[in-house]
Amino acid sequence: MTGFRVRSEIELWMSFHFNLGFCLEHRPPRQRRALMQQVAGSLGRQLPERSWTLRDAPPLPGTLAEGGVSLHAAEGGVSRVQTPVDAALKAAGLSGIRLCAPVQEELTYFDHGGGSLDLCLRFEVAGVESIPDLFAAGMAACDALRAQPDALWVSRDWDRIHDAFLRAIDETGALHDMWGILGRGGQAPGLGKTVVFSFVLRSASEGEAALHLDEADLPRLLAPLTGLDPAETVNRLAGARGVPWLFEGWNGQVALISDPAGEAWLRWLWAHAFHGWATLSAMDHFLYEEIQKLGRSGPVTAAEARAMMSAMRRIEQSAAVLGHLCQPDNVWDDANQRALHQGIFDSWATERLLAGVKEKLDFLGARSAQLAELLSGFFQDRMNVIMTVFTFVTFAGVMADVISAVDFQGALATEPLRLSLIVSGTLSVLLLGTLMAFIWQRRGIADTDPPRPRPPAAG
């Protein structure tokens, strides 16, 4: 029976997604890297308690991710998450699992305003039968951190982080208000609800104490980590260098790494798929909140209508880009790249997410068309007022000219009488015009009112 020798130390990468609500404009890879270098330098000056570095993508020729770069900020010293995580694992009572190293914390900024706070938890497992309990350990730690959000740096210092990123990206001259939030003075999405678990097992070297995993037992042991049935827990990869097998599901991903190059490849593709999906999910929630705001009472001002219409154009453009990047065949070149992304696409219900975004965009698009008509009505009303004032001023001038022509010597009417004739004549025409407008308006309403049902005949 085929088996694998793996280390008893298993890593859990736990990623809490956040979104800034703005990003860098799209630029070719070389220009983008230079801009990201400027952002890293600015963040290093504004948030010096972290070490800000760039990380280049592994070689991915022929893909949309080729030449990509991400921004990272490592935590110095002991992370504040350590205490709640230790307490949660102790309360969980998982005897076969223990933390064997301090929790490592790192902030990652990827693209499209999306980033994550990544925690690395290293567990020592007593035996192969303890592997299924890793998901329970991860959930215990995650629930504890959600209950104490101040333990997470992104939540604790969100305003500082948001403002530092805004200033740093604005200094590059390539700030993109992707959802129109900045233009309307809105609040950034911030730390979202999306949390991803990625479990990493590593091959054991010769002479190293190891766990022996039979290939036939992998679906049973790893199904709790993916959230799939054992029958659906299948290897997504076929001969990928440095990653002998990979399982992906709604709960998370599990991979065996046998080579450092394979780890760099795996982490980048996971991050690309995760951040694209999580940003699309953040957009879906943002659109949901925008629809809720439409139910408020009170009139919509012209300024609000213009801001909403401008934001819709930005949101539609962002949705089109993210929708394209979420499709594996649009991004990747070889079978293993597509298979890895396809596993996340399928197990995270991406088709349903895309459909939900489209439905909300259609609804808001219809509302935007109504706002355009409303805005046109605003302008028409203003023009009507201006033309009315101009008409009556002109009429008053004509009356003055007529009186002057008839009584050019001022013998028939004194100056006060002339003024009263001009004013009274103008007001008479104004009242007549108002009366005619009222009559036509009532006639229009009568023409458009639906016929009223007649009462049934007696008897």
Q: pLDDT digit string (tens) for 393-422?
A: 666 666 666 666 665 555 555 667 666 766
If one compares 70 and 455, the residue with the highest pLDDT of the two is 70
pLDDT of 337 reads 93
Rounded average pLDDT over 436-458: 52
- The residue count for the chain: 459
If one compares 100 and 185, the residue with the highest pLDDT of the two is 100
Residue 177 scores a pLDDT above 80: yes
Q: DSSP assignment of 11-71, as one string?
A: EEEEEEEEE-S-EEPP--HHHHHHHHHHHHHHHHHH-TTSEEEEEEPPP-TTSTTTT-EEE
Specify the DSSP element, H or E, that contains 105: strand 104-111
Tell me whether strands 175-176 and 104-111 are parallel, antiparallel or unpaired. Answer: unpaired
pLDDT of 403 reads 60
Residue 143 scores a pLDDT above 90: yes
Rounded average pLDDT over 378-391: 63
Only one residue has tokens 């990380």, namely 55
Rounded average pLDDT over 265-286: 93
If one compares 36 and 293, the residue with the highest pLDDT of the two is 36
Q: DSSP assignment of 222-247, as one string?
A: HHHHHTS-GGG-----SS-TT-SEEE
If one compares 189 and 3, the residue with the highest pLDDT of the two is 189
pLDDT of 447 reads 47
Please give the mean pLDDT across all residues of the chain: 85
pLDDT of 199 reads 97
Q: Can you give the residue ranges of every domain in the chain?
A: 3-272, 373-444
Rounded average pLDDT over 350-362: 93
Of 143-157, 174-188, 196-210, 436-450, the least confident: 436-450
pLDDT of 431 reads 72
> Which of 340, 271, 262, 300 minimizes the C-alpha distance to 116?
271
Q: Over the Cα atoms of the chain, what is R_g?
A: 33
Question: Taking a C-beta distance cutoff of 8 angstroms, is the pair 204, 6 a contact?
Answer: yes
pLDDT of 380 reads 60
Percentage, residues of the chain above pLDDT 70: 78
> Which of 77, 49, 51, 79 minimizes the C-alpha distance to 160?
49
Residue 453 scores a pLDDT above 50: no
Rounded average pLDDT over 38-54: 95
- The model's pTM is 0.81
Burial class (CB in 10 A: 0-12, 13-18, 19+), 295: exposed
Of 33-37, 79-83, 452-456, the least confident: 452-456
Q: Please, which residues have CB within 8 angstroms of residue 212's CB and are 6 or more apart in sequence?
A: 3, 4, 5, 128
Rounded average pLDDT over 242-263: 92
pLDDT band at residue 139 under the 50/70/90 scheme: very high
Residue 219 scores a pLDDT above 70: yes
Q: Please, which residues have CB within 8 angstroms of residue 286's CB and are 6 or more apart in sequence?
A: 179, 189
* CA–CA distance, 71 with 111 (Å, rounded to integer): 9
pLDDT of 398 reads 63
Of 66-70, 140-144, 148-152, 391-395, the least confident: 391-395
Of 22-36, 97-111, 208-222, 405-419, the least confident: 405-419
Rounded average pLDDT over 175-203: 91
pLDDT of 459 reads 44
If one compares 361 and 448, the residue with the highest pLDDT of the two is 361
Over residues 301-350, the pLDDT tens digits come to: 666 777 777 788 899 999 999 999 999 999 999 999 999 999 999 999 99
